[in-house]
Structure 1
Amino acid sequence: MANSKVGLFFGSFNPIHIGHLIIANYMANYTFLDEVWFVVSPQNPFKDKKSLGNMYDRLEMVNLAIDGADNLRASDIEFSLPQPSYTIDTLTHLSEKYPTKEFLLIMGEDNLMGLTKWKNADILLRDYKIIVYPRPGYDAGEMRNHPAISMTDTPVMELSSTFLRNAIKEGKSVKFYTPDPVIDFIDKKGLYS
């Protein structure tokens, strides 16, 4: 039996919103991937630690958001890996842990532009495939034609977690921007306010 293909969608998901869900759903159902895992980052090396919501809360919000979707799952794999987590280390770890799965990387075209600066980018591009969703205003140029890269027509919306956090802080409604169970969780725990 062929290895199942798993797309890894890394992010802080602080909080998760429908932009993330649309990308994951498209990748899981409209491409050659069998499933998509949301890899919740405990701490992005490029982000200020203080601005991140509790990682268990962020993981729980992802689980609430994808409840009932059988080809989407949340992964806390990076919670137990050395900090800060680098994508190549996580990929290597997962490939060893799940030898029957083939892991691919999902990323936005904006990240693709800076990929060559990543830790072990050459190994990443040699050993793994990368599936890219478009981002308005970004063009990865030559990188688009790299043999490891697959461009997609994923529908994209300009919605950010920062927008949601600010709206919540200002007491504005975020209905429809993230699933209702996530909103209830945020309300109950008093997150971002």
Structure 2
Amino acid sequence: MKKIGLLGGSFNPVHIGHLRLALEVGEKMHLDEVHLVPAYIPPHKQTKNVLPFEWRVKMLEQSILGVDGLKLNLMEKERPEASYTYVTLESFLRREPETELFFILGSLDLLTVPQWFKGRELPYLANFVVVDRHGQTEDEIHEFVTSFWPVDKIISGGWSLHRGKKIYFLSLPRLDISSSLVRRKWLHGENITFLVPGPVEKFLDENREDVVFYWKG
């Protein structure tokens, strides 16, 4: 059975932190591929400050060109509604029923899952790979997981859920980079070299007037 990781987001824009996270999780979890899934209509975001889907896709596509183990997945473009994780996972499994899915998210994001659409049901569709991005400890994650889901047993590096999948907690090298940091620096004319892949910096600079229109909108 093929093991595929899904890393979703607005990628507004994609930065080095996104790509290193995808590669690190792929290696640690021995995944066949990690799919980067840009949100067509990101939920919980003001879309007026988000670049057009086609632009974000172009930057992603150029950034992972020739990188083994990373793949661009455009499945969310086919849905006119907001990009809810539950619908994304369900749709992927409908197309690829023989796939074992691993949904990648940050530790702080995990703590907000109770507010997500069908959040409690998510780890019955895919394994969770929770990455420490904001300093949460394994004890904090353990307390949350065991209080929110029925846990069968503790496993190496995580938890096995009753009649569900597994939740893993990984502590990986942290790159303290965010898309909002990149946007802020770029809009102020500061250097973003090594924060984003070269094709991203080139695209932003070549389309400065249009990008400013969206990011300052």
* Structure 2 unmatched runs, 5+: 147-158, 161-165, 213-217
**Quick one: distance in 2 between partners of 1:111 and 1:122?**
14
Aligned length: 191
Note the aligned Cα RMSD (angstroms).
Answer: 1.6
The answer on 1:65 being equivalent to 2:83 is: no
Q: TM-score by structure 1 length?
A: 0.92
What corresponds to 2:190 in structure 1? 172
Q: Assess if the C-alpha contact under 8 Å between 1:104 and 1:128 holds in 2.
A: yes
Structure 1 position 90, deviation (Å): 0.9
Structure 1 position 192, deviation (Å): 3.6
Q: Assess if the C-alpha contact under 8 Å between 2:89 and 2:125 holds in 1.
A: no
SS of the equivalent of 2:36 reads strand
Q: Assess if the C-alpha contact under 8 Å between 2:90 and 2:125 holds in 1.
A: no
Q: TM-score by structure 2 length?
A: 0.82
Bigger Rg over Cα: 2
Q: Which of 41, 45, 65 is 2:39 aligned to?
A: 41
What corresponds to 1:136 in structure 2? 134
Structure 1 position 149, deviation (Å): 1.0
What corresponds to 2:154 in structure 1? none
SS of the equivalent of 2:104 reads strand
Query: AA paired with 2:144?
Result: M
Q: Assess if the C-alpha contact under 8 Å between 1:168 and 1:192 holds in 2.
A: no
What corresponds to 1:125 in structure 2? 123
Query: AA paired with 1:178?
Result: V
**Quick one: distance in 2 between partners of 1:158 and 1:144?**
25
| Correspondences of 1:51-90 after superposition (within 5 Å) | 51-90=49-88
Q: Assess if the C-alpha contact under 8 Å between 2:182 and 2:192 holds in 1.
A: yes
**Quick one: distance in 1 between partners of 2:78 and 2:109?**
24
Measured against aligned partners, the alpha-carbon deviations of 1:107-141 in whole angstroms (never above 9, x if no partner) come to: 00001001122222232122321001102233434
**Quick one: distance in 1 between partners of 2:187 and 2:78?**
31
What corresponds to 1:21 in structure 2? 19
What corresponds to 1:149 in structure 2? 167
Q: State percent identity of aligned pairs.
A: 30
Q: Assess if the C-alpha contact under 8 Å between 2:86 and 2:117 holds in 1.
A: yes
Structure 1 position 144, deviation (Å): 4.8
SS of the equivalent of 1:10 reads strand
Query: AA paired with 2:28?
Result: Y
Query: AA paired with 2:110?
Result: L
Structure 1 position 88, deviation (Å): 0.8
Measured against aligned partners, the alpha-carbon deviations of 1:56-110 in whole angstroms (never above 9, x if no partner) come to: 1111111111111121011111111141121111111111112232222000000
What corresponds to 1:104 in structure 2? 102
SS of the equivalent of 1:92 reads helix
Structure 1 position 151, deviation (Å): 0.6
Query: More displaced, 95-104 or 178-187?
Result: 95-104
